[in-house]
Chains A and B, each alone.
Chain A
C-alpha cells in the first residue's frame, strides 16, 4: 500500500478524463508517470508526463503525518501551425485548471490540490508546444501505513 502512489495514480486517471467529449478544449491521448519519448507518434499526442518533485513534511500528530508534494505536469502537443499551437497550448493549460478546480478528488487522504504556476513554449521547427504546470498536493498518511 502506498497512499502517495494511489494519489498520483488517481491524478493520472483524472488527467486522462481531459477530452473534448467531456467539455474540455483538448483530447488527451496519453498520461504517464514516466517521460514519454519526444518522437512519440502523433496519434499519442497530446500527452502529459506527470513527474514528482520534492515532498515536504508539513505537520504531524499521534497517528498521521501531513505532506506537501510538489508535482510537475508536463504537457506536450503537436499542431499544424505555430499560431494554432500558441492558442491550443493555452487551452490545454486551461483544461488542467478546469480539472483541478472542478474540484478534483484524489481520494480520502488528499486534502487539497493547489495550482502554483505554469509556463509554456512553442517550437517552430518541430511544430510542437510544451507547457509546464507546477501543482502541490497536500495529503496525509497514517504512520501505520508505511
Chain B
C-alpha cells in the first residue's frame, strides 16, 4: 500500500528517514571509544521498550515559507522533529552529565553531517532541555529539536 499521496513529495517521511539514518550512522561511529555512547535509535517516541542509551525522533511541526513562482510554487519547508535522548528508566538514577554529553554528541554530529542529500539539510538544532520525564516510553533523559529544510515545488493551481 502507498503510505502517502504524492509519493515524490513524501517530505515529512523522507526527512524523518534521513534523520534516523544519521542517528544510526552515529551509533556506528560511537560504537567504540565513547562513553557514553548512543546505542539505539527509533523513529517514534511511543516505543516499548527503548534500549538505553537511545534516541527517538518524531515529527513535531512544519513551517512553510513561499519562496518563488516558476512553473509551480516553490516553498521552503522547515520541518521540526522532536529528538529525545533516553538514558534511564523511570524511578532510576538519572545521570545529567551523561545525558548532556549524548545530546552534545548528537548536536556535533548533525552539524558535521548537515547535508542529508536529495535537497534535504539540517537547518537548525535548538530547544535543548535536560531532566525530561518521558511518559510514553517510561524513560528519563533530555530533548532537543532538529529542523530539516527542503525546497519543494507544488503545481500552481
Contacts and interface: CB of A to CB of B under 8 A. Distances in A.
Interface in A119-146: 136, 138, 140
A60 B138 contact: no
Interface residues of A, number: 14
B62 to A, nearest CB: 24
A114 B92 CA distance: 7
B48 A59 contact: yes
A136 B92 CA distance: 11
Interface stretch (A10-18, A61-69, A87-95): A61-69
B136 interface: yes
Given A61-B48, A66-B49, A140-B49, A114 B91 contact: yes
Contact of A58 (B44, B47, B92, B138): B138
A58 B49 contact: no
B96 to A, nearest CB: 18
Contacts of B137: 59, 66
B46 interface: yes
Chain A interface, DSSP helix/strand/loop, else mixed: strand
B90 interface: yes
Contacts, number: 40
Name the interface size band of chain B.
10 to 19
Chain B interface, DSSP helix/strand/loop, else mixed: loop
A132 to B, nearest CB: 18
Interface in B121-156: 135-138
Contacts of A44: none
Nearest to B44: A61
Given A59-B136, A111-B138, A64 B91 contact: no
B92 to A, nearest CB: 5
Most chain B CB neighbours (cut-off 10 Å) among A59, A64, A68, A140: A59
Interface of B: 44, 46-49, 89-92, 135-138
21 contacts: A58-B138, A59-B46, A59-B48, A59-B135, A60-B46, A60-B48, A61-B46, A64-B48, A64-B49, A65-B48, A66-B48, A66-B137, A68-B138, A111-B89, A112-B89, A112-B90, A112-B91, A114-B91, A138-B138, A140-B48, A140-B49
